[in-house]
Amino acid sequence: MSTSEEISTLLVTKFGTDPEAIRPDVPLHRLRLDSLALEELRLHIEDRLDVDLEDVALTSRDTVGRLVEAVQGKVTA
């Protein structure tokens, strides 16, 4: 499963996000990911993909695509 698919799966199963709404250009706040949810998502991604996202700076204004890109950078690091 690709990083993008892994993140989509987490959004659907852990946050109840509509899979149709998950597109690269959509800001995270449009998916109802506030600062609390973003930190929770960070923990889920770290557990699922065995990466450390501690120094990745993300806000709810960032897009799904930016999130995937940031995680991919850590996966391949």
Partner 1 sequence: MSAAAAAPYRRTPLAPFAAAVTGVGLVTSAGTGTAAAWHGVTEGLAPSAAPRPELDGLPCDFFYSVTDCDPGAVLGVATQRLMDRFAQLAVIAAREAVADAGLDPAVWDSGRVGVVIGSAHGGLSFYDEQAAALAARGPRRVSPKLAPLSVVNGAASSVSLDLGVHGPSQAVSTACSSGTVAIGTAHQMLRSGACDIVITGGAESTCTRLLIASACSLKAVSTRREDPAAACRPFDTHRDGFVVGEGAGLLVLEHPDHARARGATVRAHVNGYGASSDAHSAVAPDPEGLGIERALRTALADAGLSPDDVGHVNAHGTSTLSNDLIEATMLRRVLGDSPLVTSTKAMTGHTLGAAGGIETALTVLALQHQLVPPTVNLDAPDPQIPIEVVAKEARAASFDCAVKTSLGFGGHNAALVLTRP
Residues that bind partner 1 (CB under 8 A): 13-17, 32, 36, 39-40, 43, 47, 54
Query: Can you tell me the distance from the alpha carbon of 51 to that of 18, in angstroms, rounded to the nearest whole number?
Result: 25
3-state SS assignment for residue 9: helix
> What minimum distance in Å lies between the beta carbon of 45 and partner 1?
13
| Of 5 and 47, CB closest to partner 1 | 47
What are the backbone dihedrals phi and psi of residue 63, each rounded to the nearest 5 degrees, phi first?
-95, 170
> What minimum distance in Å lies between the beta carbon of 41 and partner 1?
10
| Of 53 and 68, CB closest to partner 1 | 53
> What minimum distance in Å lies between the beta carbon of 39 and partner 1?
4
CB-neighbour burial class of residue 43 (10 A; exposed 0-12, middle 13-18, buried 19+): exposed
